[in-house]
Chains A and B, each alone.
Chain A
Amino acid sequence: EAGVAQSPRYKIIEKRQSVAFWCNPISGHATLYWYQQILGQGPKLLIQFQNNGVVDDSQLPKDRFSAERLKGVDSTLKIQPAKLEDSAVYLCASSLGHSETGTDYEQYFGPGTRLTVT
């Protein structure tokens, strides 16, 4: 089974520039998450999709961050304009989603995109 794919793996931009990250979840996974992991900290949820609908975006800085999940599969996360404090690893994760048995809730993480804003 292929894992969660993310690209690019690394990105260096100057502040005030724009950047976009792409995520392809595990096939069949209905739930998709974007996390921000600042160096030395645990991942922090930015946005959660169930199919192509947003479940939770309460911690997404909406003045500069946006995300979409068209057709309920791939997702993109965009930052415009970037700030120095956006330097972090951006992790995408997916899970099977709601299960009748109450199982299969494990989140599978991609390798992340390391963003450096200079």
Chain B
Amino acid sequence: QQQVKQSPQSLIVQKGGISIINCAYENTAFDYFPWYQQFPGKGPALLIAIRPDVSEKKEGRFTISFNKSAKQFSLHIMDSQPGDSATYFCAASIGNFGNEKLTFGTGTRLTIIP
């Protein structure tokens, strides 16, 4: 069964700190690993994504670290801000360039406190 395990379930970080969310997968056929951000009452929105040919991808304050041998990947949010408070989902798919079937993790509710 294709699964993506995500932790922690909830996370509280002080403003300016680093938020770290971890995911692990089992299916070695997965080759696309996106992170989605979801605010209450909204649909998920793509935040950043990585393919397994690189070990790290950075976009602004958001970084994905990818460990292919351990089948793990994580999201790091640097200088966390109150506006980052949301639920974050990792996901994985077997890419087919436009026809990806995403398998989502269970989500992490992130709260940034002043």
Contact = CB atoms under 8 A, between A and B. Distances in A.
A42 B91 contact: yes
Interface string B47-77: 0010000000000000000000000000000
A88 interface: no
Contact of B101 (A30, A41, A48, A96): A48
Contact of B106 (A42, A48, A111): A42
Interface stretch (A11-19, A70-78, A99-107): A99-107
A82 interface: no
B98 A30 contact: yes
Contacts, number: 69
Contact of A106 (B4, B43, B46, B107): B46
A24 interface: no
Interface in A87-118: 91, 93, 95-99, 102-112
Contacts of B43: 4, 91, 93, 109-112
B41 A111 contact: yes
A62 interface: no
Contacts of B41: 111
B102 A107 contact: yes
Contacts of A91: 43-44
B106 A41 contact: yes
Interface residues of A, number: 31
A45 interface: yes
A78 B6 CA distance: 31
Contacts of A95: 98, 100
A98 B44 contact: no
Nearest to B90: A42
Nearest to A56: B101
A44 interface: yes
Contacts of A103: 97
Contacts of A99: 97-98
Nearest to A55: B99
B106 A107 contact: no
User: Which residue, B49, B97, B98, B107, has most C-beta atoms of chain A within 10 A?
Assistant: B98
